[in-house]
């Protein structure tokens, strides 16, 4: 799975976005709902890129193993 950033929105919803896919943002009433929603958004985003013959950006996120 790609790196996802999760944070509370002003309206009480949770916002989830995928930094490696510009504009790939979703939300949900709970953290779990936001994560599930952004997973679907990521899949749709990548499918659309492939359908249009465009390259899929790499996920350049690095986890700190320390």
User: For 41-56, what is each residue's pLDDT tens digit?
Assistant: 999 999 999 999 999 9
Higher pLDDT, 5 or 60: 5
DSSP summary character for residue 22: T
The values of phi and psi at residue 38, to 5°, are -70, -30
pTM of the model: 0.85
The per-residue b/e assignment along 15-39, b for 16 or more CB within 10 angstroms, e otherwise, is bbbbebbeebbbbbeeeeebbebbb
């Amino acid at each position: 799975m790609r790196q996802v950033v999760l944070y509370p929105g002003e309206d009480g919803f949770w916002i989830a976005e995928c930094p490696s896919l510009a504009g790939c943002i979703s939300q949900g009433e709970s953290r779990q709902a936001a994560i599930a929603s952004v997973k679907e958004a990521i899949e749709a985003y990548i499918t659309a890129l492939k359908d249009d013959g465009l390259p899929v950006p790499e996920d350049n996120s690095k986890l700190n193993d320390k």
